[in-house]
Structure 1
């Protein structure tokens, strides 16, 4: 019988797998790279315009949400392509819905960005 690993060791391994997944996402997905550039610009703008703590919270939350949903979308696309490599209308629908979720998060992020930055620019 093999010795069961401790809870702490299992959590460390889980964090390692998550970190590996994040690196793969950042290295291989062009959309994430674009979103990271936008996130960097928004972060620099936050410092430039000296946004409030609440504005930082909203900005960071939206950056995290968009990047996270993009990661889920990418995972869904990989899974769909693995299950059904050739074109299939149902797989296309699933991929479109996942992409739509990213689009919704992005629209909300832009709206929040407008609320934060437009008054500071006027």
Structure 2
């Protein structure tokens, strides 16, 4: 029986796989590229307007949430297409719901960004 790898080795491998997945997502998905651009813009705005620690926490949390949900949406779409490549009403529903989750996170992110930045312009 082969020797079982240590907990640390397994965790390092998991981090490697996760990093690979993130790179694939960034390289292949146009929507994540748009979200990265928006994240860069609001990050620069955060430094420019010297937002508070609490505002940074909210902003970084929303960036992470939107991008994470987008990654899950991409994975759901890929597995749905793999399972049923041709159009199917149920697969369409599944993909729409996953996209809806990204939309909800994005709306909340815009609301939080508005709460942070609109007062800076007024």
TM-score (norm 2): 1.00
| Number of the residue aligned with 2:94 | 94
Q: Which runs of 5+ in 1 are unaligned?
A: none
Looking at structure 2, the residues matched to 73 and 120 of structure 1 have their Cα atoms a distance apart, in angstroms, of 33
Equivalenced residue count is 122
Looking at structure 2, the residues matched to 39 and 2 of structure 1 have their Cα atoms a distance apart, in angstroms, of 45
The runs of at least 4 aligned residues of structure 1 exceeding 3 Å deviation read none
- Over aligned residues, Cα RMSD in angstroms? 0.3
Looking at structure 1, the residues matched to 39 and 90 of structure 2 have their Cα atoms a distance apart, in angstroms, of 33
Task: Show the 5 A alignment for 1:58-73.
Answer: 58-73=58-73
| Number of the residue aligned with 2:6 | 6
| Number of the residue aligned with 2:84 | 84
Per the TM alignment, residue 11 of structure 1 is displaced from its structure 2 partner at its CA by: 0.3
Task: Show the 5 A alignment for 1:1-122.
Answer: 1-122=1-122
Q: Which runs of 5+ in 2 are unaligned?
A: none
Per the TM alignment, residue 54 of structure 1 is displaced from its structure 2 partner at its CA by: 0.3
Looking at structure 2, the residues matched to 85 and 64 of structure 1 have their Cα atoms a distance apart, in angstroms, of 30
TM-score (norm 1): 1.00
